[in-house]
Amino acid sequence: MTRPDAVESASALIDARIKELSDWRGKTLAKLREIIHEADPEIVEEWKWRGTPVWSHGGIVCTGETYKNVVKMTFAKGAALQDPSGLFNSSLDGNVRRAIDIHEGDKVDEAALKDLTRA
């Protein structure tokens, strides 16, 4: 079980990452975070692997990675999820995870993302 202070620290680190980015990537990560919490109010924020925001609920649901040209949401067990809206557009070759690469200007289907988060 995660300690409350660890959760608060992870949330503060995610806040800091969003602020540090201060461009479309920070805004995108903040919006994704909001959608994730709307989909699952009981989701837990974690900070792993030296700087990756992670959202968990009985195991890792997804991560929010930021790169120069993309914000990547990786779903730990995405290959097992139904994706009728076709959000998954990255890491499609493996048998376990799936990812969504979001580029500057991309619009995210919030309802479909909430469905994936809840699945």
Least-confidence region, from 1-5, 35-39, 41-45? 1-5
Domain boundaries, the chain: 4-118
How is domain 4-118 classified at the architecture level of CATH?
Alpha-Beta Complex (3.90)
Q: Give residue-wise pLDDT tens across range 90-108.
A: 999 999 999 999 999 999 9
CB of 51 closer than 8 Å to CB of 63: no
* Strand residues in 1-119 grouped as ranges (E): 44-48, 52-56, 60-66, 71-75, 98-102
Q: Give residue-wise pLDDT tens across range 47-80.
A: 998 899 999 999 999 999 999 999 999 999 999 9
pLDDT for 50 equals 84
